[in-house]
Amino acid sequence: MGLISGQQYIERINNLQPELWIDGERVTGKLSEHPALKGIMKSKAKLYDLQMREDKKDLMTFQNESGERSGMAFSPPKTKEDLEKRRLAFQEWAKTSGGLLGRSPDYLNTILMTFTQSADLFSSQDPDFSRNLRNLYESAVQNDYSFTHTFVHPQVNRGRFFFDLSSNQIAAHVKEKTDDGLIIHGARLLATQGGLTDELIVFPQGGIVDAPMANAFSIPANTKGLKFIARESFDYGKTHFDHPLGSRFDEIDSIIVFDNVLVPWDRVFFYENLKLANELYLETSFYPHTIHQVTSRCIVKSEFILGVIQLMVNTINIGGYDHVQEKVADVIVGLEAMKAFVLSSEMQAKVDRWGLMTPAPEPLFAAIRYYAKIYPMFTDIIQLLGASGLVSIPGEKDFNSPIKEDLEEYLQAANAGAVDRVKIFRLAWDLTMSAFGSRQTLYEQFFFGGPLNLAKMIYQNYDRSESTEWIKHFLSIEDDKGNSE
Ligand SMILES: Cc1cc2nc3c(=O)[nH]c(=O)nc-3n(C[C@H](O)[C@H](O)[C@H](O)COP(=O)(O)OP(=O)(O)OC[C@H]3O[C@@H](n4cnc5c(N)ncnc54)[C@H](O)[C@@H]3O)c2cc1C
């Protein structure tokens, strides 16, 4: 099969019936008709339809080993041109949502592709485990599966690194090993799109110290005992006019509960294995390939934000002011810097030990750290430029009511009629101030681990030896006794 249509995606998830809880109720019936989910499922379905289009075939897909077409994110890059192709495919999908769908399927398909290319690493515990990963990858490629994932333990007590081994372990852990597989019990954070994908993939967080939690596996979203507990939906059932973004792109985020879930042995990639849990991220090209997808999307998102800002500026005619130009320039600098980071990573790409053409990690780590810093600035700029315009935004019903003429008169702008002006400012509000918009700001700062962790990784991995040698040479210092590197 290789590729599925949007309708096939919707039917498959409707048939799966995962245990998804929203607002104290288990979702029954078709997920695609649930008020909280129908917007995002429709948007996701459009991604599948897009990659099936004949005119997008070369851009969005590649020929898999069975000779069929599959989504580009599954393709293992072998050349720098392949990396460029991957970027362009990521960006084509991102354009459908202005980069606001953080977890479009290409994110986890990239992760699965990367881990699978390094599958031999997983055979150190059991040769079958690397085969399990390859099998999953092959069926994902054949069936165009989508995944959600959870890497993080519940936020109960961050005073210690992770939980002690007590009788009341909260974080999901191996409770028992049986002939059939592992019994997993406990909770995990935080599955964006939890319940809206075919599979849940579980990997341990790096730096873990408790063996019962050092597990990696993937299970179908409807596995018995697996619960997705979603936050309140930010799709409040409003029209696209009123909530242009929340009504389309709210991905929902779910806490995952494993209630004595059986993970069959043929779905296990490793278990209770601290060595593999800690090697996984260093020995594979997980970081560069995943961040390559992320930053390609962030470029599109920045272009979208720039477009919104410039339309606000034009609409109320504030582009002549110096500070407005400075603010717009700051957004342009952010956008151009992101493009440069990604291109630099592709130019410096090298083949990794698993044969994958891998973008250079240094510019990508810089990009993801930088974006977490500038994204709140983008939000701020929109608020500082929009001012009261961001709350003078009557809804669609107001424009269809007896006060319509008042609105058209008093909400007109220098360069737009009232309706267009409100459309633009509502978009800016939904991007930055609504529940949907503020979650976007949180997302860009945390979805890839906290900003502090990213900074620490950069500090610990960036090679500064040439710089320090240069300074030592300049100062004629022979022996550096410093121990900070
Ligand atoms: C919108 C959103 C979507 C997400 N989607 C997913 C997803 O799909 N899949 C997934 O696996 N994860 C997802 N995440 C989770 C994400 O990976 C975590 O938020 C991130 O790793 C940070 O962990 P935490 O939220 O538990 O924060 P915490 O680690 O609890 O941090 C809270 C605060 O405490 C500080 N802190 C904690 N520990 C330390 C320490 N040791 N030293 C110094 N300071 C410390 C942090 O810096 C931070 O300021 C998502 C998060 C968000 C916000």
Q: Kindly state if the Cβ of 158 falls inside 6 Å of ligand 1.
A: yes
Confidence of residue 208 (pLDDT cuts 50, 70, 90): confident
| Among candidate residues 146, 62, 51, 143, the one with its CA nearest the CA of residue 105 | 146
Q: What is the pLDDT of residues 12-70, one digit of tens each?
A: 999 999 999 999 999 999 999 999 999 999 999 999 999 999 999 999 999 998 999 99
pLDDT category at 485 given cuts 50, 70, 90 is very low
pLDDT of residue 167: 61
Q: Which CATH number applies to 285-449: 3.40.50.300, 3.40.50.80, 1.20.140.10, 3.30.70.590?
A: 1.20.140.10
* pLDDT tens profile 25-40: 999 999 999 999 999 9
Q: What mean pLDDT is reported for the chain?
A: 95
Ligand 1 neighbourhood includes 150 CB (under 6 angstroms)? yes
The CA 449 to ligand 1 mean position distance, Å, reads: 5
Looking at the predicted structure, is the pLDDT value of residue 164 above 60? no
> For residue range 113-140, what is the model confidence (pLDDT) as tens digits?
999 999 999 999 999 999 999 999 999 9
Q: How confident is the model at residue 478 (pLDDT cuts 50, 70, 90)?
A: confident
Task: Please name the residues in contact with 250: beta carbons below 8 A apart, sequence gap of 6 or more.
Answer: 36, 39, 40, 233, 234, 235, 436
pLDDT confidence bin for 1, thresholds 50/70/90? confident
What angle, rounded to 10 degrees, do the helices at 418-432 and 286-316 form? 150
Q: How far is the CA of 286 from the centre of ligand 1 (A)?
A: 19
Residue 155 Cβ < 6 Å to ligand 1? yes
Confidence check: pLDDT of 163 > 60? no
Question: Residues near 303 by Cβ (< 8 Å), separated by ≥ 6?
Answer: 99, 335
CA-closest candidate to residue 151, choices 195, 112, 199, 203 = 203
Taking the CA of residue 321 as centre, how many other CA atoms within 13 Å lie in the half-sphere pointing to its CB?
A: 9
Query: Given ligand 1 and candidates 287, 293, 447, which is best to mutate, with the most ligand atoms within 8 Å of its CB?
Result: 447
Ligand 1 center from residue 150 Cα (angstroms)? 12
Quick one: CATH architecture of 6-279?
Beta Barrel (2.40)
Structure tokens at 30: 């078709």
455 lines ligand 1 (CB under 6 A): no
Task: Tell me how far the alpha carbon of residue 357 lies from the centroid of ligand 1, in angstroms.
Answer: 30
- Ligand 1 site, residue 228, Cβ cutoff 6 A: no
Which residues make Cβ contacts (< 8 Å) with residue 307, sequence separation at least 6? none
Pocket of ligand 1 contains residue 447 by CB under 6 Å: yes
Q: What is the pLDDT of residues 302-347, one digit of tens each?
A: 999 999 999 999 999 999 999 999 999 999 999 999 999 999 999 9
Average pLDDT over residues 254-264: 98
Centre a 10 Å sphere on the Cβ of residue 56 and count the other Cβ atoms it contains: 14
- Ligand 1 contact via 86 beta carbon (within 6 Å): no
Question: Hey, which of 158, 287, 294 would you mutate to test ligand 1's pocket, going by the most ligand atoms within 8 Å of its Cβ?
Answer: 158
In this structure, the residue with its CA closest to atom 20 of ligand 1 is: 449
- In this structure, what DSSP letter does residue 353 have? T
Is the shortest distance between the CB of 189 and ligand 1 below 6 Å? yes
pLDDT, mean of residues 84-95: 98
- What are the extents of the domains in the chain? 6-279, 285-449
Q: Which atom of ligand 1 is nearest to the CA of 445?
A: 53
CB 413 within 8 A of CB 448: no
Which residue's CA lies nearest to atom 38 of ligand 1? 158
| Average confidence (pLDDT) over 376-404 | 98
